[in-house]
Amino acid sequence: MTKLKRIPLYVWILLALLLGIAYGFASIFFGINSFTVNWIAPFGEIFIKLLKLIAIPLIFVSLVKGISDLGDASKLSGMGLRTFFLYIISTVMAISIGLLIVNTIQPGSFFPEDKKEEYAESFKSDVLEKSLNAQELEGQGPLQFLVDIVPENIISAAGNNINMLQVIFFALLFGIALIMIKGKNVKLVISFFDGLNDVILKIIDIIMRFAPIGVFALMASVIVDVAGDNPANSVQLFASLGLYTLSVVIGLLAMMIFVYPLFVTLLTKIPYLKFLRGVLPAQLLAFSTSSSAATLPMTKKSCEENLGIRSEVTNFVLPIGATINMDGTSLYQAVAAVFIAQTLGIQLDISAQLTIILTATLASIGSAAVPGAGMVMLIVVLEAVGLPAESVALVYAVDRPLDMLRTAVNVTGDSAVSSIIDKNSGEI
């Protein structure tokens, strides 16, 4: 028993992930998908719900605590500016890498002609729903995104996991007001938040004990969902989208192999392999949940416990990163937009590609940190360069696996930036 206790959490999660995949395939093979859906999948759902449950309280309390620990407004604005700058730089680099790869490989030119109609038809209803969501975002003025960040009612903003930016806005306002007031009454509020923070961390600890079961169930149901009752059909779908998938995967790997090592090695004291091992639990959880918001508790835990990043930094940098910094998502959006243009035989000139850089940066900031959000915002990128919203159907079939991968990259980016912001990271 004690030996089992010594096995680190990430090993359990990795085992659960592999077993879940193996079980998913076995479920298809033995025809027990309905058993899997009824008796296994609910545990994955419960796990995701628990993670979502803690996301808003965690973001609010950790931001307020992060700011009150900093203690003065000039430190806050310094850290805020550096964080924002790094987030934007890494996003623009991700998009540029995506564009470079998709323009070099040209996956769209190999897409089978007869498949276009078939895809457009089979994903019609899903796409219609997604484009309605995206349409709400269009036809609005250029400053609408700023208007949307400001909540008019904090309860309704916090009542919906999609409005994380509004919760962040209120938390920042609350934290700033807290450090501007000096006095006895405020000390009480500060120590209240300190206590609340400890309680939330304990809740996260409890939820994480459930992680291996949750991850197993999530992986099993993803496999059954994607391959379903017709595995041959899924293999065919994947084959015709193979080069596109490969382009996204190469791009994401380039982030992990070139960009983050460059950032981490040059700007922190942490050796890159140690960094990777440290963030592995968060990457695995991001891969299984496809949600950076749901992964936030684990990202925070990994950054603090494995990389020695101070909680003053993670409390501030990570909740904001989970919400606005999505390197993997922005890279995917760039590759997908150009791939779709290539498939439709439309040439995107340099100004269209620059538009992609701008809109994918904004779209990834605007994407909620939940499964599939990147694809909804992809529609905004498509329309910005004059491509039809319905054409998102072309990439729909492989969205889930790519979502899993890009979310893992998203949380890696957030962790890399935290390790840079904390000058003493690595000293555990």
- Write out the residues near ligand ASP by the rule CB under 6 A: 290-292, 326, 329, 367, 369-374, 403, 406-407, 410
Q: Which is nearer to ligand ASP, 130 or 406 (CB)?
A: 406
Alpha-carbon distance 321 to 417, whole Å?
A: 9
**Cα-Cα end-to-end distance for the chain:** 28
- Least gap, CB of 381 to ligand ASP (angstroms): 12
Output 212 or 413, the one with its CB closest to ligand ASP.
413
Q: How far is the CB of 273 from ligand ASP (least distance, A)?
A: 24
The residue number whose beta carbon is nearest to ligand ASP equals 374
Which CB atom, from 312 or from 403, has the smaller least distance to ligand ASP?
403
Min dist. Cβ of residue 92 to ligand ASP (A) = 17
Closest contact distance (angstroms) between CB of 103 and ligand ASP is 21
Tell how far CA 88 is from the center of its chain.
15
Could you tell me the two tokens for 24? 């998913």
Q: Which residues contact 425 (CB under 8 A, 6 or more apart)?
A: 268, 269, 270, 307, 308, 309, 310, 313, 418, 419
Residue 59 · residue 171 · CB < 8 Å: yes
Instruction: Assess contact for 44 and 218: CB atoms under 8 A.
Output: yes
Q: How far apart are CA 290 and CA 59, in angstroms?
A: 18
- Pairwise CA distance, residues 3 & 15, whole Å: 16
> Least distance in Å: CB of 330 to ligand ASP?
9
Q: Which is nearer to ligand ASP, 306 or 330 (CB)?
A: 330
CB of 51 to ligand ASP, least distance (A): 11
Q: Rank residues 235 and 358 by Cβ distance to ligand ASP and give the closer one.
A: 358
Distance CA 165, CA 368 (A): 9
Distance CA 415, CA 278 (A): 10
Task: Select 76 or 94, whichever has its Cβ closest to ligand ASP.
Answer: 94
